[in-house]
Structure 1
Amino acid sequence: MTAIVITPRGPFSLAASMRFLEGFTPAGYRDASDGRVLRLAFPADDGHSTVSAEVSQTEGSGGSAGSEGSAGSIQANVTVHTGNPGKDGMGAASAESDGVSAVRAQLARILSLDVDGSGFPRLAEHDPVVAELIAAYPGLRPVCFYSPYEAAAWAVIGHRIRMVQAAAIKGRIAEHHGQRVAVAGQFLHAFPTPLVLRGLSRVPGLPEVKVERLRLLADAALAGDLDAARLRAMPVDDALAHLRTLPGIGPFSAELILIRGAGHPDVFPRHERRLHASMAEAYDLGDPDASDARRLAGISDHWAPYRSWVALLLRTRREEQAGQAARGRSVR
């Protein structure tokens, strides 16, 4: 086990990230503690090992969110597991011997801490919508998939089926084929590494074509075609075009992989209709502007260099409002 410290640049709240994860269906995250420790288990970017992490945040000078003053530092105890799946962490090696810098970089990317967010609050000065969002969700940054590889796998699993059904299938794949690790007193199953996934011949609940696409995506990950740093270094249009060449990845999924898999902070999702509806409502747009992707993208230009972040807050608010409305209907 190795201790890692990450100092946020700009506002950040781990507690807000945990609340977000609990409502993020693909994560399947359920916290059984006091809400102060984030437990993670995920395939490492190296393609063959698994990382477990116990993450917490110290109190900053302006509280954990750091809206005034500095946000508290992130402290993580991480272990790299190189043994066989299902062996309860057997074969674990210290992160230091397996590349502590790579593990730290991946963890920072997952929590969007690899981005300097000190300029994010300034967006509120010229946009009342953004000001309201930042006030409503202090310190919340996008919590990403553990890797572009896992985001791509989710896109294939979830294509044209309900999210809860896809999450159940993804969870079963992790349980049966991923590494089982102990994290702060709890056992977690990580999604299988590309080396393991490429060897699967059958997945209950998935048609053969999806299983074949998962195997091909595993090969693509091992070949470097889903490398997060490479994707973020490319011009956005080029990165999206590259991702659309992968099996089972269309325009919507390509944006998902780049934004929520590679953690790109400044991409406007042109194919996310729910976001567009949320923008139309927030900015009081009528037809035809409400469905004009170019018009909406023009509005998002004012969010640069944090377009992905504002988009996430808009979607989060919309989903919370939808959940509150559904609970109200059930009460009546």
Structure 2
Amino acid sequence: MTLHDDAAYRALTTHDARFDGRLFVGVTSTGIYCRPVCRVRTPRRENCRFFPNAAQAESNGFRPCLRCRPELAPGLSLTDSSQVLAQQAALMLESAAHEGLDPPLPAVAARLGVTDRHLRRIFAQAHGVTPIDYLTTQRLLLAKRLLTDTVLPVTQVALASGFASLRRFNAAFVERYRMSPSALRRDRGEAAPPPAPAGPTSLRLAYRPPYDIDGVVRFFANRAIAGVEAVDGLALRRTLAVEHRAQALTGWVEARFVPARHEVQLVIAPALLPALGAVVQRMRQCLDLDADPAQIDPVLAAVPGALREGIRLPGAADAFESAVRVILGQQVTVAAARTLTRRLVERFGMPVETPFAGLDRLFPSARIVAEADPEVIGKLGIVRQRVRALQALAAAVAEGRIELHRAAPLQPTLEALQALPGIGDWSAQLIAMRALAWPDAWPATDIGILNALGTRDARLAAQQSEAWRPWRAYAVMKLWLNLE
């Protein structure tokens, strides 16, 4: 979505949240860049420069506003870029920034099947900056969020943001933002609350309206697994395990919708703070906070069923868990799959402490499932073919042969999944939909889709779905919601 400057200025003057994360405004008189929803006094038109992403604003010498906080803006979904390859690279770099990793650019290019030089060229064409500048912006914005919203020491903030040393972090921060990290903490401004006491950390996650909160909450409530997750009003709570820098961290998260502010209030257990960036990224994907309804809703209007604005694609806080639940859902109802998953958790899930009654189990890790006795899994009521599929998937994930996250290369991952026993196209498409956040996934033989379309002909349904590209996964959600 590209706006001419006059249209961009109108979005700024009206504080239009639909353009949040898609438009940033640099003000030449102050040297600061803002989100369109910023509530400071609107700058004069001649003092405004408009950018499609934060990295471009920073590469042009602007520093982020302390009031509207550009690091809180929604991100981009997988098909937002006209060059999907460049967007895939951006997702890999964002993932690296949040995981605290430092991937060499040639390795990113190799994973995408292109040369380093070609990647640099198409990345600059699509995003207006070099990959290194893009990665640096993601890391600094993550660091700014951690400095503002947590009480982590500056050294830990530097490491959690992916900087190899405190010296390099301080130098990059001062160069871009014209203040030291410690100075930002001393002068937080009106937009940032004082540091919270030691304990759970609360963060704000923005989304673009409209958002079908009722549909998302109902989806998770109908599939909630006792011990692992629960829904209470507008709040979703769950246990979570994260591998961070070769360390296993366990804890819990709570995500509560705040419709009046177009935000989700995310509360994270203290034990997960070292991986805070990764947890935030997982929850943004889980709740599909980076979707753009302005692109999706017009396409979904042609999908049969009542009009629903702001349909989202519920994703995965734990991608392996989502994949397991897809396998357990083969040829059974949602309720039956939920029962089988609960039994798996009760037998193999590790205990974890949370402040919420009944939320006390972690979903079993890939390694635990891979090494389990298949006879024991079978006694849970899981048929032998599903046991083989579960353990083949678990072994592939535990050994790193298959990666399940939205930055994973789509086609090679789909092929690797379907090479496993007991995983066909239906399962691979649903895993792509929920674990890989692929917006055009289409499980052609899904009985719910066929029922909603009033047919038993999967080929006919697939032909009808062609009109809904590249948002067919969202069409699936609309069709499912019509049946629930």
> Offset at 1:54?
1.1
The higher radius of gyration belongs to 2
Residues 123-155 of structure 1 show CA distances to partners (whole Å, capped at 9, x for unaligned) of 36xx45479432xxx444122243432232123
Matched, 1:225 2:402: yes
Q: Which residue of 2 aligns with 1:67?
A: none
SS in 2 for 1:119: helix
> Offset at 1:241?
2.3
Counterpart AA for 1:78? I
Q: Which residue of 2 aligns with 1:154?
A: 325
> Offset at 1:118?
4.0
Counterparts in 2 of 1:50 and 1:130: CA distance versus 1, 3 Å:
farther
The alignment's TM-score, normalised by the length of structure 2, stands at 0.50
Q: Which residue of 2 aligns with 1:142?
A: 313
The alignment's TM-score, normalised by the length of structure 1, stands at 0.70
Structure 1 segments unaligned to the other structure (5+ residues): 62-71, 80-92, 282-286, 321-332
Match of 1:256 among 420, 427, 430: 430
Residues 148-176 of structure 1 show CA distances to partners (whole Å, capped at 9, x for unaligned) of 32232123334445543332221122123
1:39 and 1:183 in contact (8 A); partners too: no
> Offset at 1:180?
3.4
Structure 2 segments unaligned to the other structure (5+ residues): 1-199
Matched, 1:270 2:438: no
1:2 and 1:77 in contact (8 A); partners too: yes
1:276 and 1:296 in contact (8 A); partners too: no
Q: Which residue of 2 aligns with 1:323?
A: none
Q: 259-268 or 210-219, which moves further after superposition?
A: 210-219
1:2 and 1:95 in contact (8 A); partners too: no
Counterparts in 2 of 1:240 and 1:271: CA distance versus 1, 3 Å:
farther
Counterpart AA for 1:94? A
Q: Which residue of 1 aligns with 2:58?
A: none
Counterpart AA for 2:336? Q
Residues 79-109 of structure 1 show CA distances to partners (whole Å, capped at 9, x for unaligned) of 2xxxxxxxxxxxxx53331x21111111111
Counterpart AA for 1:21? F
Match of 1:37 among 219, 226, 235: 235
- Cα distance in 2 for residues equivalent to 1:224 and 1:76: 32
Matched, 1:103 2:279: yes
- Cα distance in 1 for residues equivalent to 2:299 and 2:343: 41
- Cα distance in 1 for residues equivalent to 2:430 and 2:243: 18
Counterparts in 2 of 1:245 and 1:51: CA distance versus 1, 3 Å:
farther
2:438 and 2:473 in contact (8 A); partners too: yes
Match of 2:465 among 278, 288, 297: 297
- Cα distance in 1 for residues equivalent to 2:266 and 2:365: 22
Matched, 1:243 2:441: no
SS in 1 for 2:273: coil
Matched, 1:7 2:178: no
Match of 1:176 among 344, 347, 350: 347
> Offset at 1:8?
0.7
SS in 1 for 2:211: coil
Matched, 1:120 2:310: no
SS in 2 for 1:4: strand
Counterparts in 2 of 1:255 and 1:103: CA distance versus 1, 3 Å:
same
2:252 and 2:354 in contact (8 A); partners too: yes
Counterparts in 2 of 1:104 and 1:276: CA distance versus 1, 3 Å:
same
- Cα distance in 2 for residues equivalent to 1:40 and 1:22: 12
> Offset at 1:199?
2.7
Counterparts in 2 of 1:133 and 1:42: CA distance versus 1, 3 Å:
farther
2:299 and 2:468 in contact (8 A); partners too: no
- Cα distance in 2 for residues equivalent to 1:291 and 1:165: 27
Counterparts in 2 of 1:100 and 1:171: CA distance versus 1, 3 Å:
same
Task: Give the root-mean-square deviation of aligned CA atoms.
Answer: 3.2
> Offset at 1:253?
0.5
> Offset at 1:74?
0.8
Matched, 1:310 2:475: yes
Query: Which gives a bigger RCO, structure 1 or 2 (Cα 8 Å, sep 6+)?
Result: 1
SS in 2 for 1:265: coil
Residues 181-233 of structure 1 show CA distances to partners (whole Å, capped at 9, x for unaligned) of 455532322311223222321222234554343233222222151321344x4
2:255 and 2:264 in contact (8 A); partners too: yes
Counterpart AA for 1:76? L
- Cα distance in 2 for residues equivalent to 1:60 and 1:214: 42
1:9 and 1:118 in contact (8 A); partners too: no
Counterpart AA for 1:200? A
Q: Which residue of 2 aligns with 1:330?
A: none
Q: Which residue of 1 aligns with 2:217?
A: 18
- Cα distance in 1 for residues equivalent to 2:252 and 2:224: 20
Counterparts in 2 of 1:278 and 1:210: CA distance versus 1, 3 Å:
closer
> Offset at 1:295?
1.8
